[in-house]
Structure formats: C-alpha cells, structure tokens
C-alpha cells in the first residue's frame, strides 16, 4: 500500500455518496416518462427555447471572458486597498435572490427609469423588458463572477511569475501579458466560460421578471418555458422538457470538457 492510500480508501464513501446524490435525481428525471413521450415533447417548443437559451448563454459567457482579461490584470497588478475592497464585491450578485436581481434590473434599465431615460436619448425606441438585451444584462450580472474568479486565480497563482520573468528578459508589460499571460490562461478562460455558460442556462427567477418572453409572445428561455409548463399543470410535459434540457446540456458539457482536455 502506497503512503497516504489509507486516507484515500477512507474517503471513498464520501465520493460515492456525493456522486449518487447528483446522479439520482437526474436518473429519476430521465426515466420518469417513456422515451416516446420525451421524443414527442420535442415539438412542444422546448427545442427552440433551448436553442435561444444556449446561444444567449454563450454570448454572456464570451462577454465575461473578454471582460475578465483587462479586469484580472488591473486587479492583480494594483496594490490599492480601495481596489481590493471593490473587487470583493464581485461575488455579491451570487448571494442576492434571483427575483431581487430581476427587480434590480427592472428599476435600473427600464426606459422610465433614470438610466433607461439616458439610454433612450441616444437610442430612441429603446426597450428593455422581454428583449435579448434584458437577458444578456441580467445573466452577465449573475454569472460573470464565475469567469472572473476562475481566470483571476489562474493569473495570480501561476501566470504572473512567468510574465515577470518575461519582463526581466526585456519584454514590455503589454507584450508579456498578451504573448505569455493570456495563452497560459487559456484553460482557465475556457473553464470560466463553461461555468458562466452553465450558470446562465440555469437562471429562471430574474428572467421571469425582466424577460418572460425573449421574442414577443413566442419564445421563452428554457427555464421559464419549463416553469410555465409546470404552472399549467402539465407535469409529464414538464419532466419530458426537463429531460431534453438535461440531455442536451450533458452533450454540450461533454463537448466543452473534451475541448478543455485538448487545450
């Protein structure tokens, strides 16, 4: 027995219990209704909802990755106590109830509100409720912290020292960041993108307030679509749509993980 293996064996039950805890509800959902009902539910509109949800979630995640590049550099290279205090607010949106987030977005960006009125001056006809913009702004508020923190940990723990070595060899700060720092953070940025993308897909509460529909009267995001099915008393259809969302999500996550492994 290798040194330290005793503790590994001791902790096996905790690993098994947690994996079963995750898999049991998923398995129950996938086997609750017949496969034929799941197939027939594909015509209910869930596939269109999933399509738009995944695209919008990816847009939000990509924005979060792009935003994390200058943000992480500035915070990591700044010694100001004020900046560090401000940076501690990044996780705040995670703890705010999601219905509250919806209200916050409504009273901030709706055209009748001060910021909304300001936007209207530059973009006449500006609307916020039930638009792609409402979805993107709300999801970015809720999910960007996952990308920023993932990239920030990678940069401050591993990458900065290689940049500093590059600087001692004559590379400027800009060149060392873009030729050494960003490529070395590639895996972290991909992982952050996956986390923000997945978090965006799971959102429901805030979108019930600001974007019940994302195309007027036609399409909901996936979580809202499934919630509306449940509210109408259609439990079999709700479970079937949930199964489709789970299966497509698993396929997408597997693709992301394969890409991460290659990177």
What is the DSSP code string of 40-66?
HHGGGTHHHHHHHHHHHHHHHHHHHHH
State residue 143's pLDDT score: 93
Give pLDDT, residue 10: 83
* Token code pair at residue 226: 């499934």
Q: What angle separates helix 132-154 from helix 186-202, to the nearest 10 degrees?
A: 140
CA–CA gap between residue 33 and residue 37 (Å, rounded): 7
Closest CA to 26 of 257, 245, 261: 245
**Whole-prediction pTM value?**
0.85
Going by C-alpha positions, the residue among 86, 74, 85 that lies closest to residue 160 is: 74
> What pLDDT sits at residue 246?
92
Poorest-pLDDT segment among 100-109, 141-150, 228-237: 228-237
Residue 2: predicted pLDDT: 60
The alpha-helical segments, DSSP class H, found in the chain are 5-32, 35-41, 46-76, 81-87, 92-95, 98-109, 114-122, 132-154, 160-168, 173-176, 182-184, 186-202, 207-210, 222-231, 235-262
pLDDT, residue 56, reads: 93
Q: What are phi and psi of 215, to 5 degrees?
A: -130, 125
pLDDT value, residue 216: 63
The answer to whether residues 128 and 234 touch, using CB atoms and an 8 Å cutoff, is: no
How high does pLDDT run on average in the chain?
86
CB atoms within 10 A of CB 37: 14
Structure tokens at 76: 């990591």
4-60 confidence digits (pLDDT tens) = 577 778 888 899 999 999 999 999 988 887 778 788 877 788 888 999 999 999 999
Instruction: Give the chain's domains with CATH numbers.
Output: 51-221 (1.10.3720.10)
**Tokens representing 138?**
């709300």
Q: What is the pLDDT of residues 185-242, one digit of tens each?
A: 888 899 999 999 999 999 998 999 998 888 766 788 989 999 998 988 888 888 999 9
The strand pairing partners of 219, in sequence order, are 215
Instruction: Indicate whether 263 pLDDT > 60.
Output: no
């Amino acid at each position: 027995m290798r040194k330290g293996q005793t503790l590994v064996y001791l902790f096996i039950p905790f690993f098994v219990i947690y994996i079963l805890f995750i898999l049991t509800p998923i398995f129950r959902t996938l086997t609750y209704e017949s496969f034929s009902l799941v197939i027939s539910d594909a015509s209910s509109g869930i596939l269109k909802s999933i399509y738009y949800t995944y695209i919008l979630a990816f847009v939000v995640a990509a924005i979060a990755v792009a935003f994390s590049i200058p943000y992480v550099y500035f915070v990591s290279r700044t010694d100001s106590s004020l900046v560090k205090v401000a940076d501690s607010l990044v996780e705040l949106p995670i703890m705010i109830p999601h219905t509250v987030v919806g209200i916050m977005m409504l009273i901030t960006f709706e055209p009748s509100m001060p910021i909304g009125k300001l936007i209207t001056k530059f973009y006449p006809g500006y609307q916020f409720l039930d638009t792609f913009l409402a979805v993107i702004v709300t999801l970015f508020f809720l999910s960007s912290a996952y990308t920023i923190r993932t990239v920030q940990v990678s940069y401050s723990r591993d990458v900065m020292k290689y940049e500093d070595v590059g600087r001692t060899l004559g590379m400027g700060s800009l060149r060392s960041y873009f030729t050494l720092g960003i490529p070395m953070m590639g895996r972290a940025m991909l992982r952050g993108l996956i986390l923000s993308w997945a978090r965006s897909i799971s959102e429901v509460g805030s979108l019930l307030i600001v974007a019940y529909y994302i195309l007027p009267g036609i399409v909901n995001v996936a979580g809202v679509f499934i919630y509306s099915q449940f509210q109408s008393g259609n439990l079999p259809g709700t479970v079937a749509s949930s199964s489709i969302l789970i299966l497509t999500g698993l396929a997408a996550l597997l693709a992301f993980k394969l890409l991460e492994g290659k990177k």
